[in-house]
A and B are shown apart, each in its own frame.
Chain A
Amino acid sequence: MEHAEALLRMEGISKSFPGVKALDHVQLTVQAGTVHALMGENGAGKSTLMKCLFGIYHKDEGHIYLEGQEVNFANSREALDHGVAMVHQELNQALKRNVMDNIWLGRYPKIKGLPLVSEKQMYADTMRVFEELDIHVDPRTVMSKMPVSQRQMVEIAKAVSFHSKIIVLDEPTSSLTEQEVDHLFKIINMLRDRGCGIIYISHKMDEILRISDEVTIMRDGQYIATRPAAELTKAEIIRLMVGREMTNQFPPKLDTVGQEDIMRVEGLTAEYSHLKDVSFSLKKGEILGVAGLDGSGRTELLENIFGAATRRSGTIYKDGNRVQNRTPQESIKNGFALVTEERRATGIFGILNIQENTVIASLKNYLKGVLLQSGKMSSSTNEMIQAMSIKTPSQKTKIQSLSGGNQQKVIFGRWILTNPDVLLLDEPTRGIDVGAKYEIYQLIQRLAEAGKSVIMVSSEMPELLGVCNRILVMSGGRLAGEVDADHTTQEEIMTLAAMYV
């Protein structure tokens, strides 16, 4: 029987949550020695499917077969013991402990005959795995001292150390540089050659087409198709994912740039980061992109303008007047808004509901005396939900239960309600699926059209080229150059980005 040979076969998996059918008879078959991409918009059910595999959720219906044997894992540890490992997007690590303590957590090697842990063996075992994967990290380094990319490698090494047959990688490249992505792909290829099955979850189509053998696409909790990657094109994937043709990834540009400068920054230098001597100006209705490699000082630039980081020197002018922006509070009063990069860590209030998340930055607008007027808050929230077509059961829903794209829209709504003149957006579409990205682009354009100015940091160059009017390129904490988005190339930007590296 052909089925019995598949490394992993998930069949007819269904899972319902109160009010939603998250998975509706979904299937997934992964062959040994292949990389299988799992694609779909946020909310399509990819992570729910994986959680069913790992026993984090209990499936309502369906069967899971591992090498022909039906399995039903009760928890992730049981899955690990059967050779099914997952590298989470949100790294789950004990940051204050060192590398090897993390890798062998839950199964420390013992000194023979004693109830003591053998550090020596742990070190040797770790080194063996690292050598195999060509990872250069000291096993005794404390996790929190390492960059996210290295921590991710450690997590992959952990999966490998379980001799996993199936490794699920969830958005593994979201915080990696290009060289690191290459390294990761080398590791993936090695695991594939060894006969492992890799389930690769990502929104980055170029990567998917480059690394995967097969692609399974899901939409709205349903299985759509499984195709060999070689037969797929980006356009075809998008069509399958969103169920409609999407020839243009970006909405057409509008002519929104006004004449007068709304903001000017002179000689901005940070106290605690390497941001140095940045000067530029921003026009009313302009969408200004900020490009650069990771660590080039893009986020720091926004944080320094917004007063979220300490400025050493430099001045900011708005509408011709000097503004201090020493704290976020002051900056908001001056008409600035910042949508932060790490949505989960510094954007959403996970356990608060949509309404609370929406009105939190503009509470003073709802005051009557010392009390907040709930009717007014609820109508503002409704306005935002409608204006941005936020998909949510109600405004009393906890924001953490929404998909990334919808969470981001809520945060946009939060800042729009403060009626800012300058919006600082840090990676506004990170981890958001194609359809929602398009909506975010439109939203940004609508804001510009309404006379707001936008500064938008992004790691995705096509996005900057497709949405912005002008692009600043950062390099090594300095401003390396400024390009016109309509007449530049990715090559020109890359050259500038490498200037002070």
Chain B
Amino acid sequence: MSQAKEIRPHQKKALSTPDVLNWLLDHAMIIIILLLAVYVTIRVPAFIKLPNIVNLISLTASRLPMALGVAGCIVLAGTDLSGGRMVGLAGFLVASVIGSVAGVGGVLLAILVVLITGAAVGLVNGFCMGKFKLHPFIVTLATQLMIYGLYLTVSNSKQIAVSSFVSQPMFYISGRPVPWYVLLAVIITALMWLVWNKTTFGKNMFAVGSNEEAARVSGVNVLMTIVCVFMLAGALYGYTGFVEACRIGNSSATLGLSYENDAISAVVIGGVSFVGGTGKISGVILGVFMMQLIMTAMTFLGISGGVAYIIKGAVILIACILDMRKYRAKK
């Protein structure tokens, strides 16, 4: 994209048809989702009732930390495919640790183990990207295979039952349980907001994503920044594995399968661009929420799995086309 084109003076004029169209296109994603919500509500009124909304929020909370992690990688103009398998491995580790160490100690140890394991995987991912200049798509494509292989080797593909406080209800709203992981997701999101917006690390992350060379000549440790972004992402996948294993109640080979796709999709729908250097925490939250909303809406409408996938894919494609409008200069 040429910068020179952006300095062209814009003629200010009264609100015209193209302006309205532009506004609609800029907000098309939200408009589509709202229309969908209205449509589903008309067809199935229970959709807008409190129990379903509580359910939606819980689902969003379970997937949000993972999306926040991968969002950082995308801000770097990269990506991370290792998330889903990391969730699977973390689920197994959690199940094993909680199964062998009883009580609060076991839970805390489990969390510690998955955070460290996730960060270690992130370290490898980030190091390969930052040091060897590999595209993270390739790096994480390779590492996710290795993680899965590791899981199969150590677990013997056994299912292990697991439970802990995180999936227990904190309180009830209209009879629906609000689990503890909702609170944890709120805390993690708040921390991530601080990290992204108020810390040197966060600002460096955006700078590296926007112009790596500019960051380098300004004295930013680019390698360290990339490594830390991936480590943070890895730790969040580990945490997600902990929550998911407890929520589902066991660890299995399919745990986490294609979670990375869902997370990346949600992040992109939320306006974190693959162009790099842009994105907001609020966008990620919205993106994850929208994904869950679409999936729930489809269940409510009784749409079959096959059609649901087609719609999900279409939504991602449309979101990206709309997003790219912002970066493409018209000539």
Asked if A pairs with B, the answer is yes
B7-A94 in contact (CB<8A) = no
Asked if B213 lies at the interface with its beta carbon under 8 angstroms from chain A, I say yes
Which one, A144, A148, A310, contacts B331 given CB within 8 A?
A: A310
A274-B4 in contact (CB<8A) = no
Residues of B within 8 A of A (CB): 2-4, 6-9, 11, 194, 198-200, 203-204, 206-207, 209-211, 213-215, 217-220, 276-278, 330-331
A97-B210 in contact (CB<8A) = yes
A148-B4 in contact (CB<8A) = yes
A95-B3 in contact (CB<8A) = yes
10 contacts between A and B (CB under 8 A): A97-B277, A105-B207, A105-B214, A107-B219, A116-B198, A117-B199, A273-B8, A299-B4, A310-B330, A342-B4
Q: A94-B277, A96-B206 are in contact. Are A147 and B7 (CB under 8 A)?
A: yes
CA distance A92 to B3 in the complex (A): 12
Q: With a CB–CB cut-off of 8 A, which chain B residues contact A97?
A: 203, 206-207, 210, 277
Which one, B3, B6, B207, contacts A94 given CB within 8 A?
A: B207
CA distance A359 to B107 in the complex (A): 66
**Min distance, Cβ B28 to any Cβ of chain A, angstroms:** 21
Q: Closest chain A residue to B329 by CB distance?
A: A272
Q: With a CB–CB cut-off of 8 A, which chain B residues contact A303?
A: 331
A-B interface pairs (CB < 8 A), number: 101
B9-A274 in contact (CB<8A) = yes
Q: Closest chain B residue to A304 by CB distance?
A: B331
Asked if A106 lies at the interface with its beta carbon under 8 angstroms from chain B, I say yes
**Min distance, Cβ A496 to any Cβ of chain B, angstroms:** 20
For chain A residues 135-167, which have a beta carbon within 8 Å of chain B?
144-148
CA distance A319 to B199 in the complex (A): 64
Asked if A80 lies at the interface with its beta carbon under 8 angstroms from chain B, I say yes
CA distance A106 to B277 in the complex (A): 16
Q: With a CB–CB cut-off of 8 A, which chain A residues contact B207?
A: 94, 97, 101-102, 105
**Min distance, Cβ B186 to any Cβ of chain A, angstroms:** 20
B215-A272 in contact (CB<8A) = no
Asked if A309 lies at the interface with its beta carbon under 8 angstroms from chain B, I say yes
Q: With a CB–CB cut-off of 8 A, which chain B residues contact A80?
A: 218-219
Q: With a CB–CB cut-off of 8 A, which chain B residues contact A105?
A: 203-204, 207, 214-215, 218-220
B331-A77 in contact (CB<8A) = no
A116-B194 in contact (CB<8A) = yes
Interface string of A305-325 (1 = CB under 8 A from B): 000111000000000000000
Q: Closest chain B residue to A294 by CB distance?
A: B7
A102-B198 in contact (CB<8A) = no
Asked if A251 lies at the interface with its beta carbon under 8 angstroms from chain B, I say no
Which one, B2, B198, B217, contacts A117 given CB within 8 A?
A: B198
A148-B7 in contact (CB<8A) = yes
Q: With a CB–CB cut-off of 8 A, which chain A residues contact B211?
A: 92-95
Q: With a CB–CB cut-off of 8 A, which chain A residues contact B3?
A: 95, 144, 148
CA distance A417 to B213 in the complex (A): 36
* Residue of A116, A295, A303 ringed by the most chain B CB atoms within 10 A: A116
CA distance A62 to B3 in the complex (A): 39
**Min distance, Cβ B206 to any Cβ of chain A, angstroms:** 6
Which one, B2, B194, B200, B277, contacts A108 given CB within 8 A?
A: B200
For chain A residues 78-128, which have a beta carbon within 8 Å of chain B?
80-81, 92-97, 101-102, 105-108, 110, 115-117, 119
CA distance A273 to B2 in the complex (A): 15
Which one, B7, B199, B214, contacts A93 given CB within 8 A?
A: B214
B277-A96 in contact (CB<8A) = yes
Q: With a CB–CB cut-off of 8 A, which chain B residues contact A342?
A: 2, 4
**Min distance, Cβ B116 to any Cβ of chain A, angstroms:** 21
Q: Closest chain B residue to A77 by CB distance?
A: B219
CA distance A107 to B218 in the complex (A): 8
CA distance A309 to B2 in the complex (A): 13
Known: A105-B219, A342-B4. 14 other contacts (CB 8 A): A81-B219, A92-B213, A94-B206, A95-B3, A95-B211, A96-B206, A97-B203, A101-B206, A116-B194, A117-B199, A148-B7, A295-B8, A299-B4, A309-B331
Q: Closest chain B residue to A118 by CB distance?
A: B198
